Every structure is written in C-alpha cells, then in structure tokens.
Structure 1
Amino acid sequence: MSAAPIRVLIADDNPVVRAGLAALLATAGDIETTAQAADGREALSLTRRHGPDVVLLDVRMPGVDGISALPHLVRMAPVLMLTYSREADIVREALLLGAGGYLVHGEFTADDLVRAVRDVREGRPQFTTTAASALLAELRASSHPQRNVAQSGERVSNSVVFGLSSREVEIMDLIASGMSNQQIAAACFISEKTVKNHINRIFAKLRITTRSEAMALWLGTARPGVTGHG
C-alpha cells in the first residue's frame, strides 16, 4: 500500500504563479496541491478547512500579507516561504515567526522545490542562495548591535583570541543568534554532522560545554575562563 501524498496549499496573489507551482509539484508522484489561496486571509481559512501537510506562502499579498498570516499558519502546518522578496529583514522575520524555509523565485528547480516541500514537512529547513546569504548578513550585522562599526575587527579578534578558524567564527555567530544545528547546516550548506563536529571543536577551544555559555561568551557577557567550566 503506497503512502498518502503530501498535501500542499499554495498561497500567492498571482494566479499564474500558483498554476506554475502546482504544475511543478505535479511532477512528483507523492505531492498534490489540495488548495490555492490568493491572500493571507484565504490561506488561513483554507488551511483550517483542508489541513494541508505544507503551506507554500508568498510574502507580499493584498489585504492580509504572508508575514501577517505566518504566525497563525505555523500553528496548523509547516510553512515554506516561496516569494520574490529577498530582503534580509524579511527573511529574518519570517524565520523568527516560524517559517520552516525560504525559497526565492528564480533560484530553484522543480526538483529543488519538491525536495524542499518534503524536507520542510519533516522539519528540515531549506533556503535558496539569496535567502541564506541575506540571513547570514543580517545575523552578522546584529550579533553585536552596540558595536556594529567594529564588526569585522571583532571577527578577526575572536578568531585570534579564541583560536577559531573563519568557519568556526561563522558558526559561532549563528549559534549566538539562536539558530539550531539544522538551521546552521542549511544556512552554511553543510550537513548537521559537520555542524556538530565544528561545535565540538569550538566548545573545546572555548573551554565550555553548553550553548548558553557559548552565547554569553560570544556576546560579551562572560570572559574566557569564567564561564563556570574554565
């Protein structure tokens, strides 16, 4: 007996985009489009009615837009942002509100879309290149909001003081922002296992054992050797 198909709701104000996405998803044998919505309000109503496995959500729509609908939708189903909006603050806000991934139109193939739907349903985040780059830039700019001017110098200093590689510094920035291993893996285009290996080496170098210690140390609220395990 074959498994039930993944049921998807598409929310986008452009009917051509909706039809195109439905056609792309139809190339996969295990995904079906169960409903289409033209704005956030309709997306909420249809999600309650149909109970889709994944919602594909545009950002800019008339009336109730995607960002406004997002916190309500994620209570009912995993949400994958699928939009032309690539601004760093929008990517960041969408993820903070619970989106399981962020794809920018023009940066994915039919296979990429199908894979993203399957992964987001299982809780594995997916990002296209522009979204990942925008998120990293936003995180780097906000890691030390009171000291943005000296950001690049601080990264060099952290690398020297703590003996971290450039990749380890990058991963520590993401840990300090509160990202999970899954999110870090997606943002850096590496496996979760590789992320864990990096974190183990970072914690050994910083002489710490927990994420909270790492965040406190990295954000300047603790000093090396006085985090409780130094």
Structure 2
Amino acid sequence: MIRVLLADDEAMLRAGVRAILSTDPTIEVVAEAGDGREAVELALKHRPDVALLDIRMPRLDGLRAAEELRRTAPETAVVMLTTFAEDEYIARALGSGAAGFLLKTGDPRELIAGVQAVAGGAAFLSPGVAQRVIAHLGAGRLTRAAGAKEQLEPLTVREREVVALVGGGLSNAEIAAKLYVVEGTVKAHVSAVLGRLGLKNRVQLAILAYEAGLVAGGDEKGP
C-alpha cells in the first residue's frame, strides 16, 4: 500500500484529489494538511511514502516544505501538485529535491501514475512540464532564471525598476530622467542593490536583470 500525505490550503481541492486517489486500491491517503508547516509536522508523524504538496500555501509554501522534508524525512518522496507551470517553480521544486511535478489541470490518470512512480523511486513530470524542462535544460537557462528571480525577490519595486533599466544599458542620468528622480537617488539605489546582492559592478547587475527576465527580450535571448 502506498501511503500518501496530501497538502493544499483548499479543502475542496483536497477532497477532489483524495477521490481520484481512492480509485486506486494500492493508494491510501493517511493525512491531510491545510498549510506547509502542518504538512511537515504530519509527515514526521505518519511517515508517508509520498507527500503531495501544493506550491502556494500559508505559513510555509510547498517549495520550502519540500526542502524541509528532504532534511527531516528523506524517505518521503515529494510531488508538487500545482496550477503554476512557471519555469522558476519547476526549477526550484526540482532543486528542492521533489521527485515529481504535476499540474492540477492535468489528466487525473497522471496523478495516480505520478504517485506510483515516485513511490517506486522514479521521477515523474506532467507532459507539459517535461517539455519545458527538456526545452530549457540544455543551456542551463531554467536554473539560472529561477536563481536570478529568487535573488531579486528581496528588492523593492523601485529597486527592481532601477535594475531593469541598468540591464537595458541606461546610465544613471538616463534612469533618473525615466523615473523622474535626481541622479543621486539612482546612484544610491544602485549602490544599495549591489551591496545587498553581493555583486561587484553594474555589469553583473545587468546580467542578473537579463537572466531574471526584467529586460525586454531577456527571457528568450539572454545577456
């Protein structure tokens, strides 16, 4: 019997997933959680074979919960079950040790196949997700883009605007004119961002802006 923990902050969705899994006599849902922190606690208590985690959950999101489970319950295989097939989510999920990535919009049979696969020690990706990974992993862009976006997360909206314009090759004066601020303010923003991100110069900052997709065309062409 494959023992499954199901974590999602929407009770109705949990009920739907449970109903799908119940059609397979080899799968049993042993616990349900409404947030990531509860999911980790229940996983440590029940030691399921598979943890199905939504990405966007309160208290602790699915990605951080997956990382914690890898440290505290490595015997539990993690599958991300989400609506969002964005590159950074895929890369972070796989980087956090998840063995599978399933879409809520996919065929219900994929859910059962995914649980069975990871319980057996294999990996499983929804077909749409697999296509994205294959298309991007060759150049390593998927991981770089995800890392760049995560690196920029602590910045304010204004700082991200400045970073995008630096990536576009604008000078401090040109950025100041575009944002309707004085040049000294732009210099202060750039210096603060460089220090916070641990970067040495504007070139590194521009590359980061491209990799994060803040610059038009950066998602497709890169720096």
> The TM-score by the shorter chain falls in which range?
0.5 to 0.7
Where does residue 101 of structure 1 map in the other structure?
100
29-38 or 130-139: which moved more? 130-139
Where does residue 58 of structure 1 map in the other structure?
54
How far has the Cα of 1:144 moved from its partner? 11
40-49 or 135-144: which moved more? 135-144
Query: Residues 59-208 of structure 1: matches in 2 within 5 Å?
Result: 59-75=55-71, 76=73, 77-109=76-108, 111-142=109-140
Where does residue 22 of structure 1 map in the other structure?
18
SS in 2 for 1:69: helix
Q: Deviations over 1:122-157 (max 9, x none)?
A: 1211111221122234324536999xxxxxxxxxxx
Instruction: Give unmatched runs, 5+ long, in structure 1.
Output: 147-230
Aligned counterparts of 1:33 and 1:62: Cα–Cα separation in 2: 21
Q: Which amino acid is the alignment partner of residue 116 of structure 1?
A: G
The 3 A distance-change label for structure 1 pair 103 and 144 is: closer
8 Å CA contact 2:2–2:28 kept in 1: the answer is yes
How far has the Cα of 1:24 moved from its partner? 0.4
> Is structure 2 residue 10 aligned with structure 1 residue 11?
no
Query: TM-score under structure 1 normalisation?
Result: 0.58
The 3 A distance-change label for structure 1 pair 48 and 129 is: same
Query: TM-score under structure 2 normalisation?
Result: 0.59
Q: Deviations over 1:67-111 (max 9, x none)?
A: 1111111341100111111101110110011000101111122x3
8 Å CA contact 1:8–1:54 kept in 2: the answer is yes
Query: Identical aligned pairs, as a percentage?
Result: 40
Aligned counterparts of 1:55 and 1:145: Cα–Cα separation in 2: 24
Aligned counterparts of 1:66 and 1:132: Cα–Cα separation in 2: 20
SS in 2 for 1:74: helix
Aligned counterparts of 2:138 and 2:102: Cα–Cα separation in 1: 21
Where does residue 193 of structure 1 map in the other structure?
none
Where does residue 36 of structure 2 map in the other structure?
40
Aligned counterparts of 1:28 and 1:17: Cα–Cα separation in 2: 18
28-37 or 133-142: which moved more? 133-142
The 3 A distance-change label for structure 1 pair 112 and 143 is: closer
The 3 A distance-change label for structure 1 pair 62 and 9 is: same
Aligned counterparts of 1:42 and 1:144: Cα–Cα separation in 2: 30
8 Å CA contact 2:35–2:60 kept in 1: the answer is yes
Larger-Rg structure: 2
The 3 A distance-change label for structure 1 pair 14 and 119 is: same
Root mean square deviation, CA, Å: 2.0
Where does residue 157 of structure 1 map in the other structure?
none
Aligned counterparts of 1:101 and 1:87: Cα–Cα separation in 2: 15
Aligned counterparts of 1:94 and 1:88: Cα–Cα separation in 2: 10
Number of residue pairs aligned between Structure 1 and Structure 2: 141
How far has the Cα of 1:12 moved from its partner? 0.6
